Chains A and B, each alone.
Chain A
């Protein structure tokens, strides 16, 4: 089974520029998450999709961050304009939505390390 794919792996941009990250979840997984992980901290949920609908985006800075999930499969996360404090690793994860608890295991991609200078 292929894992969660993310690209790019690394990105360096100047402040006020825009950037986009892409995620392809495991086939058939209804739930897709985007997390932001600042150095030395645990991941913080930015947005959670169930198929192509948003379940939770309460911690997404909507003035600069946007995300979409096309046809309930791939997803993109965009930052425009970027700030210095957006420097972090952006992690994408997916999980199934079957009723048995064990099937709710989350699988993570390798992440995208963003540096804003």
Chain B
């Protein structure tokens, strides 16, 4: 059974500092891994999707890496801004379960001005 863990559960940084968010998973047989952003009371916004054959994916200030063999992904957000304050969730798409998405518990980020 796939288990996804995100550490830390909460993170507070001053504006301008780089953010590093971690995601680990137990079963490396995945199709892809997605990072999402969730604002309070809102749905999920997809940030980045990394295919199982890729090692990283970039979009603007965001960079996500994937090490499938060790079951880890890291989301880097450069030069954080107060608008980056949100909860960040990772989810893996499991091969064994036919397109099943398993989520971590999320990291709640606060960027202080």
A residues in contact (CB < 8 Å) with B: 6, 31, 33, 35, 41-45, 48, 50, 55-56, 89, 91, 93, 95, 97, 101-102, 104-111, 113
The answer, among B44, B97, B100, B105, for a CB contact under 8 Å with A91, is B44
Interface size class of B (residues with CB under 8 A): 20 to 34
Cβ-defined contact, A55 with B52, below 8 A: no
Chain A residues within 8 Å of B106, by CB: 41-42
Which of chain B's residues have a CB closer than 8 A to the CB of A50?
Answer: 98-99
Q: Which A residues are CB-close (under 8 A) to B43?
A: 6, 91, 108-111
- Among A6, A91, A101, which residue has the most Cβ atoms of chain B within 10 A? A101
Secondary structure at the B interface, as helix, strand, loop or mixed, is: strand
B 78-113 to A, binary, CB cutoff 8 A, 1 in contact else 0: 000000000001010100011111111110000000
Q: Is the CB of B41 within 8 A of A113?
A: yes
Interface residues, chain B, with chain A CB atoms under 8 Å away: 4, 6, 31-32, 34, 36, 41-46, 49, 51-53, 89, 91, 93, 97-106
A104→B32 CA distance, assembly (Å): 8
